């Protein structure tokens, strides 16, 4: 299959910081009383996350504690409030973001694949994601016993799986951009591999990295 698409990670690649982590902290500030009442569950949830930070169940446990007994309509209002707050303080990395824009202006199809939930990314990057040249793939929320959990946790090998499910075949990329070695499974599909460093600058990954 010809490699004519490009892969971009989102968090710490197109902007500074982690969208989903910021969202969980936002919910925690809004849920102090709930956290106190559910304290016997909070400790094992945090321990589970510290031991297995990339597993769907560990993050889902924390998310469920922060959202249980909250109506979906209220959660959507919180999503909107958070997205506005995050957007105001977001530091966009101009070099990788500009590179992404150049690709889409040239008609290259771009896959933005993120561990953050798709619904939150769409709220923050709605002006960009309306472009037909961009496909967004991310984690996804679902309802569970009165709260939210992650139906899909789009990290590590799950990113590759979700790309293949969305595209319908084993996709190859002509270039890939990420800040993290955790994206190794996707970067392994890329002919050219670029790292976004902590200053938001693009550099090449070492040739033997993936």
pLDDT band of residue 135 (cuts 50, 70, 90) is very high
Looking at residues 130-158, what average pLDDT do you find?
97
Looking at residues 112-137, what average pLDDT do you find?
97
Gap between the Cα atoms of 28 and 153, Å rounded: 20
Looking at residues 125-136, what average pLDDT do you find?
95
Gap between the Cα atoms of 133 and 125, Å rounded: 14
pLDDT band of residue 111 (cuts 50, 70, 90) is very high
Looking at residues 129-135, what average pLDDT do you find?
96
Domain layout of the chain by residue ranges: 5-204
Pick the closest to residue 78 from 2, 23, 130 (CA basis): 23
> Which pLDDT does position 207 carry in this prediction?
76
Its sign, for the CA torsion 200, 54, 188, 159, is: negative
Mean model confidence pLDDT for the chain: 95
CATH code of the region 5-204: 3.40.50.1000
Taking 60 as the threshold, does the pLDDT of residue 1 lie above it? no
Looking at residues 136-159, what average pLDDT do you find?
98
69 Rama sector, left if φ>0, alpha if ψ -120 to 50, beta otherwise: left
Gap between the Cα atoms of 129 and 148, Å rounded: 24
Looking at residues 73-95, what average pLDDT do you find?
98
pTM for the model: 0.94
> Which pLDDT does position 170 carry in this prediction?
83
Decide which of 192 and 206 is more confident: 192
Rg (CA), the chain: 18
Gap between the Cα atoms of 98 and 32, Å rounded: 39
Q: Among residues of the chain, what percentage have pLDDT more than 70?
A: 99
């Amino acid at each position: 299959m010809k490699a004519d698409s490009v892969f971009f990670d989102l968090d710490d690649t197109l902007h500074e910081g982690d969208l989903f982590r910021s969202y969980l902290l936002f919910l925690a500030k809004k849920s102090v009383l709930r956290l106190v009442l559910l304290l016997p569950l909070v400790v094992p949830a945090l321990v589970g996350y510290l031991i297995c930070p990339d597993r769907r169940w560990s993050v889902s446990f924390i998310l469920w504690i922060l959202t249980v007994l909250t109506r979906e309509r209220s959660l959507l209002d919180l999503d909107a409030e958070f997205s506005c707050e995050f957007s105001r303080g977001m530091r966009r990395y101009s070099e990788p973001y500009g590179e992404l824009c150049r690709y889409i202006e040239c008609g290259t199809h771009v896959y933005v694949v993120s561990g953050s939930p798709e619904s939150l990314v769409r709220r923050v990057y709605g002006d960009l994601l309306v472009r037909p040249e961009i496909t967004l793939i991310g984690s996804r929320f679902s309802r569970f016993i009165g709260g939210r959990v992650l139906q899909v946790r789009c990290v590590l090998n799950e990113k590759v799986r979700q790309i293949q499910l969305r595209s319908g075949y084993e996709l190859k990329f002509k270039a890939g951009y990420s800040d993290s070695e955790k994206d190794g499974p996707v970067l392994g599909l890329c002919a050219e591999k670029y790292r976004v460093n902590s200053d938001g600058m693009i550099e090449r990954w070492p040739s033997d990295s993936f």
